[in-house]
Amino acid sequence: MSEWLPLPTEDGSFTFFSKTFNEAFHSRFGAKQEAFLKFAQATDLADRAAQPSICLLDVCYGLGYNTAAALEVIWTVNPDCHVTLYALELDITVPQAAIAPPLIDIWSPPIQDILTAIAQQHHYITANLNATLLVGDARRTIQQLHPINFQADAIFFDPFSPRRCPQLWTVEFFTLVAQCLISTGKLATYSRSASVRAAMLEAGLKIGTIPLGVGHQLNDWSHGTVGSFQPPPHSLSQLEQEHLQTRAAIPYRDRTLSDSAETILQRQTQEQQQSQLESTSSWRRRWSLD
């Protein structure tokens, strides 16, 4: 019996809860909604779909929702657009469990066929799609893309949260991922963490915010972060800029790309303890976020 039991979210779609990371894969407000808003929409896929071809990188493929949303958006605008997709996933049992009803029923039949093939064969090739799923530690599998000079128009960056999975939120990993982004491309993530944003900046990306839309909590200030080599369409607010001047903005580091979560967290904690930057609690009080 699979350990992955479907959990309903508020938009009618489903997610899983990871016992390993003690965290759900998606927001309770809606797994499908999150895929469209924070990834497909944030990377401007509807506009990019006018191109004859698009390249996508899905970091932490999971249930496949970000890929599914992207394909629906692209082919609704341009059914002839050819998509090249690379997806990275640690645990193959997740996408395999996600192709069972009722989880997969939220997608159109063609998308269901694609998600099923990706989960079962790790490949899917047709006239307008060439998809490959790479299974393993993303710190290793991302390095398979550099020799082939893979360059993505859009990158969906969707690991578990930084405190649960710091290995994939380090300066070093973001640097590897940024090397797979074209000069006009965009990387989107749900995280608004100052440490994440600082790591993206140190990796050479310019950053902007994903503006609030539907489905957010009180005291929210952003739906996530967009990184690119071009000026972002939505600049950080004053609140967000000041967040980057606090101890919370000290990024995670993993110079060998092999450290454990505990080692990475301890390293950041030590840096924060030695820092003279403003405390995050002080920043929160100034902005009445408590």
Two tokens, residue 109: 């039949």
| Separation CA 83–CA 128 (nearest Å) | 6
Q: What is the pTM of this model?
A: 0.95
| pLDDT tens-place values along the chain, 290 residues long | 357 888 899 888 999 999 888 898 988 878 999 999 999 999 999 999 999 999 999 999 999 999 999 999 999 999 999 999 999 999 999 999 999 998 999 999 999 999 999 999 999 999 999 999 999 999 999 999 999 999 999 999 999 999 999 999 999 999 999 999 999 999 999 999 999 999 999 999 999 999 876 555 555 778 899 999 999 888 999 999 999 999 999 999 999 999 999 999 999 999 999 999 999 999 999 988 87
Two tokens, residue 73: 């958006």
pLDDT for res 27: 83
Single out the residue of 17, 13, 16, 18 nearest to residue 31, CA to CA.
13
pLDDT for res 224: 94
pLDDT for res 4: 85
Angle in degrees, CA 78, 25, 2, rounded to 5: 105
pLDDT for res 213: 66
Domains belonging to the chain, first-starting first, are: 32-286 (3.40.50.150)
For 74, residues 6+ apart whose C-beta sits below 8 A from its C-beta are 45, 46, 48, 49, 54, 81, 83
| Separation CA 77–CA 225 (nearest Å) | 25
pLDDT for res 223: 84
Query: How many other β-carbons are positioned within 10 Å of the β-carbon of residue 159?
Result: 22
